[in-house]
């Protein structure tokens, strides 16, 4: 980095989660070119305080208002501005003082602040796939109108994005999203009916947060990624395929109209796509472990088991239907996964709750933003009622 070149100022929305903490690892290792401007968390006040003391951001937000005094008092001797609540998250996204927003808030809660940042024309490093799953049409149109670049952080979408650099004039025939298959690859319903929380959280390849780990175990994560890919890369449903690749070395592929296929490869480490998004368009040198092909003499691929992992089929149904269907799918899934993590329902019940909710909530072909929020609320209430919560 040149001496007169300013550091990129990063706002991390969701700094205490898996993506947020790994992003701070990236920034810590590249302090000469990246700095923290804003940090936000929902409930993890102790970690947010620790991060704030280390990185000295301009401002922090704790979403849980009951934790405000704890955070405020801990940072009283610093110049860090402390805010709290949902509205403060949106207002922080509206600040002029940062360059890149890393959207790493888990679930639907990430939508409002991300939209605010897009309207400011900020660069969005998007790790929150639900933002596009829920309201992809509105998000991408808003990004286009405000010339706000969206750089995906999900390893699969980062792979597609990287494969497309320099290919703007070459139409995509299809993309192929790779799935590890999760911890239950090859298992059948008679095994899955007895799966417990701790078992489902043990992903074979990736270090991820609880919500995404469960989504990976049900294959819902791959379904959500298909919907996200539709909006990110302006694709039709028939142009998006999923293939199970247990080694997680090829992160995804693009096939062009001449039949050529480009793949992006690397070891399964989320810090790589995070660093790529924060450094784009430059690749930042690092000392992470390198891929040694001799350790992977065989890369294998197989069709997903749609019969056993029916959530993937439900996501494809939502992808094809459009409208508010994916919003309903996501809302029901968030409630069901939360209930499973609290040991209130079984593993296979997640699929049943999502399916029932998708059937119950009225379909809206072209929702407004308010209608997306209404559909989300209705779906959550219905899913909760199904589980008698």
Q: What is the pLDDT of residue 3?
A: 52
Stretch 103-112: mean pLDDT, rounded? 89
Q: Give 8-152's CATH code, choosing from 3.40.50.2300, 2.40.70.10, 3.40.50.300, 3.40.50.720.
A: 3.40.50.720
- pLDDT (tens digit per residue) in 358-377: 999 999 999 999 999 999 99
Q: What is the pLDDT of residue 37?
A: 98
Q: What is the largest CA-CA distance in the chain?
A: 63
Residue 21 near residue 15, CB atoms below 8 Å: yes
The count of other CB atoms within 10 Å of the CB of residue 302 is 13
Stretch 291-307: mean pLDDT, rounded? 96
Q: Is the pLDDT of residue 303 over 60?
A: yes
Q: Is the pLDDT of residue 205 over 90?
A: no
Q: What is the pLDDT of residue 20?
A: 97
Q: What is the pLDDT of residue 2?
A: 52
Q: Is the pLDDT of residue 207 over 80?
A: no
Strand 81-84 versus strand 261-265 pairing type: unpaired
Q: Which of 163-177, 195-209, 317-331 has the lowest mean pLDDT?
A: 195-209
Output the pTM of the full model: 0.93
- CB burial of 328-337 (b: ≥16 within 10 Å; e: otherwise) equals bbbbbbbbbb
Q: Is the pLDDT of residue 235 over 70?
A: yes
Q: Which of 8-17, 168-177, 199-208, 307-316 has the lowest mean pLDDT?
A: 199-208
Q: What is the pLDDT of residue 4?
A: 53
Sequence spans of domains, the chain? 8-152, 157-321
Confidence class for position 198, pLDDT limits 50, 70, 90:
confident
């Amino acid at each position: 980095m040149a001496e007169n070149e300013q550091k990129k100022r990063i706002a991390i929305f969701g700094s205490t989660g898996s993506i947020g903490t790994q992003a701070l690892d990236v920034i810590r290792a590249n302090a000469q070119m990246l700095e923290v401007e804003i940090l936000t968390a929902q409930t993890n006040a102790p970690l947010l305080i620790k991060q704030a003391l280390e990185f000295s951001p301009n401002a922090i937000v704790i979403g849980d208002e009951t934790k405000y005094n704890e955070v405020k008092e801990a940072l009283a001797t610093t110049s860090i501005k402390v805010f709290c609540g949902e509205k403060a998250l949106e207002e922080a996204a509206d600040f002029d003082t940062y360059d890149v927003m890393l959207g790493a808030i888990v679930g639907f809660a990430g939508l409002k602040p991300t939209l605010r940042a897009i309207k400011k024309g900020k660069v969005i490093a998007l790790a929150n796939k639900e933002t596009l799953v829920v309201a992809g049409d509105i998000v991408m149109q808003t990004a286009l109108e405000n010339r706000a670049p969206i750089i995906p952080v999900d390893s699969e979408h980062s792979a597609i994005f990287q494969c497309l650099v320099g290919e703007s004039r070459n139409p995509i025939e299809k993309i192929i999203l790779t799935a590890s298959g999760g911890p239950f690859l090859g298992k059948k319903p008679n095994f899955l009916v007895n799966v417990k929380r701790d078992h489902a959280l043990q992903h074979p390849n990736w270090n991820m947060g609880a919500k995404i780990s469960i989504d990976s175990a049900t294959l819902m994560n791959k379904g959500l990624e298909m919907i996200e890919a539709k909006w990110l890369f302006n694709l039709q449903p028939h142009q998006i395929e999923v293939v199970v690749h247990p080694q997680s070395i090829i992160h995804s592929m693009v096939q062009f109209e001449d039949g050529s296929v480009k793949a992006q490869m690397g070891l399964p480490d989320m810090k790589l796509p995070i660093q790529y998004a924060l450094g784009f368009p430059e690749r930042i040198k690092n000392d992470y472990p390198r891929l040694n092909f001799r350790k992977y003499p065989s890369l294998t691929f197989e069709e997903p088991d749609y019969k056993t992992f029916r959530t993937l089929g439900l996501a494809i149904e939502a992808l094809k239907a459009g409208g508010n269907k994916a919003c309903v799918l996501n809302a029901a899934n968030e409630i069901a996964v939360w209930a499973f993590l609290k040991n209130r329902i079984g593993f296979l019940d997640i699929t049943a709750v999502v399916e029932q909710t998708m059937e119950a909530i009225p379909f809206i072909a072209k929702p407004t933003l308010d209608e997306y929020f209404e559909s989300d609320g209705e779906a959550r209430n219905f899913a909760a009622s199904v589980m008698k919560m």
